[in-house]
């Protein structure tokens, strides 16, 4: 049975219990939301991994994506990137490799870390088709299901499956007749090319019940991929993207009713004034399935700094109710990320998620504690609360007074020292107002 089926039967699984402890919420509440599909727990039966809950009322979770390209294939670097993501606080990891021995790389990454692992089976299927048949459009449809089953058996915890691409959405894109950013999803573009070449329906949509049965067998979370996501803010929420979202939300409900854990992906690039509507739309149409936000990137003019443009979007997304954020690294739009990019991406996304959770979950106690530590020049506490303690310590030390009471920003003009004691707690231990 899946986590959803067990919860619906009234069982509080060990994973539900662990999520309740992590989130400091009643296990019965977690169980009821898992049963209704509002929370998912990626926990493939075939692999032990860290327990992570994603969904309503929980802390916003962060995914880090790694993987080879056809231009850079370095398994050791991918392992280092995976370990870097885990070290700096990612909740999950996706291996999006498209170059080299994809299965071997995936297994090595899974052996190296304890995070739940996600994949896009479409990538491996098309890569095999190119190698074996000479072109992606010559891929046998059956290969998609074979690869999906194989990855489930290996222990993949969640999968982005491009089920919302069908003849209707492709025709809608054709009639729309424009896209400023083009079609930016690798899986989406290959699937559209396959459909057009073969004049066939997307097998993942046509045989959705089979997709559900494969993932359900191993209790793999179905993440309904957005192959028509916007790759430019001027394409955000256009007709084809919304049509795919409608289909994915319907499929999320069908999958959930069949006992498969599901979540919905979106939206890619989007201006900040449209983020709230995007979250509300997905939540209402899907019956509050967890929303997995890719980015979202909020301007198109900052290559090299897209971890910042995405963090702005992620903070707003989290505040409005998004449940799961896929990080963006500084190398987005420029090249394959290296380990240092992974670190920057994870920290930026974690910061954004925390900012959003301060609003969504009303959790601001850590910030209050940090404020008091700064007031009192308590560096030990400040470093312990920092999202990246290593970076904070490194910066202070490089300015020449790593262990000193003050810092070099103000030195002897330190405002906190000047008014020391005036704003400290009174004798009862309560804050002065």
Is pLDDT of 426 > 60? no
| Beta carbons of 72 and 99 less than 8 angstroms apart | yes
Among 50-64, 168-182, 196-210, 325-339, where is mean pLDDT lowest? Answer: 168-182
User: 227: buried, middle or exposed (CB in 10 Å: 19+, 13-18, 0-12)?
Assistant: buried
Question: pLDDT of 98-125, one tens digit each?
Answer: 999 999 999 999 999 999 999 999 999 9
Question: pLDDT of 299-345, one tens digit each?
Answer: 999 999 999 999 999 999 999 999 999 999 999 999 999 999 999 99
What the block records as the tokens of 350 is: 């974690």
Residues with Cβ within 8 Å of residue 411, at least 6 apart in sequence = none
Estimate the share of the chain in helix, then strand, then coil, as percent rounded to the nearest 5.
50, 10, 40
We find that the CATH architecture of domain 37-360 is Alpha-Beta Barrel (3.20)
**Pairing between strand 39-40 and 54-55?**
antiparallel
pLDDT band at 415 (very low <50, low <70, confident <90, very high): confident
Is pLDDT of 416 > 90? no
Q: Among residues of the chain, what percentage have pLDDT more than 90?
A: 90
Strand, coil or helix: 294: strand
**Pairing between strand 92-95 and 61-66?**
parallel
Nearest to 223 by CA among 186, 252, 201: 252
Is pLDDT of 23 > 70? yes
Instruction: For residues 35 and 414, give the distance between their C-alpha atoms in angstroms, rounded to a whole number.
Output: 54
DSSP label at residue 230:
B
Instruction: For residues 214 and 226, give the distance between their C-alpha atoms in angstroms, rounded to a whole number.
Output: 20
Is pLDDT of 141 > 90? yes
DSSP label at residue 432:
P
Q: How many CB atoms lie within 10 A of CB 24?
A: 8
Question: pLDDT of 241-261, one tens digit each?
Answer: 999 999 999 999 999 999 999
Question: pLDDT of 217-241, one tens digit each?
Answer: 999 999 999 999 999 999 999 999 9
**Pairing between strand 262-269 and 221-224?**
parallel
| Beta carbons of 94 and 55 less than 8 angstroms apart | no
- The residues with which 221 forms a beta bridge, in sequence order, are 158
Is pLDDT of 28 > 50? yes
**Host H or E run for residue 119:** strand 117-119
Supply the mean pLDDT for the chain: 95
| Beta carbons of 38 and 25 less than 8 angstroms apart | no
The average pLDDT across 50-60 equals 98
- What sign results for the dihedral spanned by CA atoms 368, 372, 377, 383? negative
| pLDDT (0 to 100) of residue 402 | 61
| pLDDT (0 to 100) of residue 419 | 77
Strand, coil or helix: 293: strand
| pLDDT (0 to 100) of residue 431 | 54
| pLDDT (0 to 100) of residue 260 | 98
Instruction: For residues 171 and 251, give the distance between their C-alpha atoms in angstroms, rounded to a whole number.
Output: 19
The average pLDDT across 163-173 equals 95
The average pLDDT across 76-85 equals 98
Radius of gyration of the chain from its Cα atoms, rounded to whole angstroms: 23
The residues of the chain that CATH labels 3.20.20.540 are: 37-360
| pLDDT (0 to 100) of residue 381 | 97
Instruction: For residues 63 and 50, give the distance between their C-alpha atoms in angstroms, rounded to a whole number.
Output: 13
What the block records as the tokens of 272 is: 């900040």
Backbone region of residue 92 per phi and psi (left: phi > 0; alpha: psi in -120 to 50; beta: other values): beta
Is pLDDT of 428 > 50? no
């Amino acid at each position: 049975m899946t986590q959803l089926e067990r919860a619906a039967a009234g069982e509080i699984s060990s994973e539900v219990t662990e999520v309740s402890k992590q989130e400091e919420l009643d296990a019965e509440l977690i169980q009821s939301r898992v049963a209704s599909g509002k929370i998912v727990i990626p926990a493939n039966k075939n692999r032990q991994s860290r327990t992570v809950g994603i969904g309503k009322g929980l802390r916003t979770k962060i995914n880090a994506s790694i993987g080879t390209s056809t231009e850079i294939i370095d398994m050791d670097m991918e392992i280092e990137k995976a370990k870097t993501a885990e070290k700096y606080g990612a909740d999950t990891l996706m291996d999006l490799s498209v170059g080299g021995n994809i299965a071997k790389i995936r297994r090595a990454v899974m052996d190296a870390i304890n995070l739940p692992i996600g994949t896009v089976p479409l990538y491996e299927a098309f890569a095999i088709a190119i190698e074996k048949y000479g072109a992606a459009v010559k891929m046998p449809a059956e290969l998609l299901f074979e690869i999906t089953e194989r990855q489930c058996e290996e222990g993949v915890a969640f999968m982005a499956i491009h089920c919302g691409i069908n003849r209707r959405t492709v025709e809608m894109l054709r009639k729309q007749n424009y896209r400023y950013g083009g079609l930016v999803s690798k899986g989406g573009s290959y699937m559209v090319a396959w459909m057009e070449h073969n004049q066939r329906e997307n097998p993942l949509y046509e045989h959705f019940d089979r997709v559900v049965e494969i993932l359900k067998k191993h209790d793999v979370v179905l993440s309904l991929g957005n192959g028509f996501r916007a790759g430019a803010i001027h394409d955000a929420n256009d007709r084809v993207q919304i049509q795919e979202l409608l289909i994915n939300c319907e499929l999320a409900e069908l999958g959930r009713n069949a006992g498969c854990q599901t979540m919905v992906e979106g939206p890619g690039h989007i201006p900040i004034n449209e983020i709230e509507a995007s979250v509300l739309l997905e939540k209402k149409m899907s019956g509050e399935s967890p929303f997995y936000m890719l980015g979202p990137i909020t301007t198109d003019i900052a290559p090299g700094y897209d971890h910042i443009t995405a963090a702005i979007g992620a903070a707003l997304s989290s505040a409005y109710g998004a449940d799961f954020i896929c990080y963006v690294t500084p190398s987005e739009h420029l090249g394959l990320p290296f380990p240092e990019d992974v670190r920057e991406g994870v920290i930026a996304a974690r910061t954004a998620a925390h900012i959003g959770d301060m609003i969504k979950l009303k959790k601001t106690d850590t910030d209050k504690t940090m404020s008091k530590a700064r007031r009192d020049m308590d560096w030990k506490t400040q470093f312990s609360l920092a999202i990246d303690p290593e970076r904070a310590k490194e910066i202070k030390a490089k300015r020449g007074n790593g262990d000193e009471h003050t810092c070099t920003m103000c030195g002897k003009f330190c405002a906190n020292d000047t008014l020391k004691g005036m704003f400290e707690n009174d004798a009862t231990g309560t804050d002065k107002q």
